[in-house]
Amino acid sequence: MRFLSNFFGKRKDSTTLYIEALEHLVDGKTDLAVTKLREVVQLDSSNVNAYVQLADILRKRNVIDQAIKIHRSLTIRQRLTKEQKILIQTSLAKDYLVLGKTRLARESSKKILELDRHNAWAADFLVRIAEDENDWEKADDLLSTFEKSSGDKDARRHARYRMMFGRSKESEGDLEGAEEDYKQAITFDKTYADPYLYLGNLHERSGDLEPALEHWRKFAELAPSAAKQVFERLEKALFQLGRYGDVEDFYRHIMVQNPNDMDALIGLVDVLQAKGDHETAMGIVDDALARNRRSIRARLARLKISLRRVHQDQLSAEVDKIVELIPSSNGQTRRSS
């Protein structure tokens, strides 16, 4: 018997197989994980976690009906622990949400909270359903309720909900109500950029350009990656107010914060060229190219300035450099022969 055991090897127990399945899941090898999980449930049909993992994989593979069938069958099992009940209802909530059955998804989340009223996942899941339905009032109320038990406060989310109240009012023509909501959003979170954008837009609509400029500047400062949205409006407002020099100052301020902001660089170069200060514009572009020789936009800006000052052979060389930077059909950059 010992000889046969050594020859064929020992059969792995369900616990070892389950651990191996989890390792495959972590490594992204879902096919191997499925094979191991099936072996687990064949050896030990009481392994609820293995069934949940199998059904979760089915959901991710868009076999939703089968996933729900497995998860629901687990709910009627006897002697489930509280942790197992929460695990099953968590997966069911995800199943139902994928199918768009938000009522059932809510019910599963509420069952989790009945088992554990401090369960952060279920609380956040309910809030996110309200967000997806654009029910900002319910989202705000739910979040406030759960924050009372957790002791934490998510100022950014409350600020977003208040801002979205304002967006709804603005779309309905209630500009005063919208302005009040945008201001309240800022009181929740002064670092949240979007309310400043919408406040600026409101002031522009009413012809109050000074406060519009103030809010747009704040938006650009807090959200540099999205600042391009206000550049054209801000330039127009400053020109209307006769504050031409402030346009240059604005772009320089943006570039101090983010030297690689190509939108601000192009704006500054255009302003300098309008003033006839081509040397300074060229210097700024050359500084940008020193930081990134492969920037096509910086090359084009340099070419634009060069059109006023250099000979055709130099322009041709500059165009060649730009062409070399443009990806070819195979994804490689072109090289001149």
Sign, CA torsion 111/113/115/121: positive
Residue 148 has a pLDDT of 87
Residue 261 has a pLDDT of 82
- Nearest-angstrom CA–CA distance, 317 and 96: 61
Task: Identify whether the C-beta of residue 84 lies closer than 8 Å to the C-beta of residue 93.
Answer: no
Residue 9 has a pLDDT of 39
Angstrom CA distances, 219 to 190, 230, 261, stand at: 11, 8, 15
Residue 78 CA, chain-centre distance (Å), reads: 42
Residue 126 has a pLDDT of 97
> Smallest Cα–Cα separation from 93: which of 59, 63, 47, 62?
59
State the angle between helix axes of 312-325 and 296-306 in degrees (0 to 180), rounded to the nearest 10. 170
From 3.90.650.10, 1.10.1370.30, 1.25.40.10, 3.30.1490.20, which CATH number describes the 155-242 domain? Answer: 1.25.40.10
Residue 309 has a pLDDT of 62
> Smallest Cα–Cα separation from 254: which of 283, 198, 203, 216?
216
Q: Which two tokens stand for residue 331?
A: 């994804």
> Smallest Cα–Cα separation from 22: which of 91, 30, 46, 62?
30
Q: Which residues of 261-290 are buried (b: 16+ CB within 10 A; e: fewer)?
A: bbbbbbbbbbbbbeeeeeeebbebbeebbe
Q: What type of residue sits at position 278?
A: H
Residue 160 CA, chain-centre distance (Å), reads: 14
* 3 state DSSP class of 327: strand
Angstrom CA distances, 182 to 59, 140, 191, 195, 331, stand at: 40, 15, 13, 5, 45
pLDDT tens track, the chain, 337 positions: 344 334 333 446 878 888 887 888 888 888 898 888 888 888 888 899 999 999 999 999 999 999 999 999 999 999 999 999 999 999 999 999 999 999 999 999 999 999 999 999 999 999 999 999 999 999 999 999 999 888 889 999 999 999 999 999 999 999 999 999 999 999 999 999 999 999 999 999 999 999 999 999 999 999 988 888 998 898 889 888 888 788 888 888 888 878 888 888 888 888 888 777 788 888 888 888 888 887 878 888 787 777 766 555 566 566 666 656 666 444 544 444 3
Residue located via tokens 């046969």: 4
At the fourth CATH level, the homologous superfamily of domain 46-153 is: Tetratricopeptide repeat domain (1.25.40.10)
In the chain, where does the domain assigned CATH 1.25.40.10 lie?
A: 46-153, 155-242
> What is the H or E stretch that residue 10 is in?
none
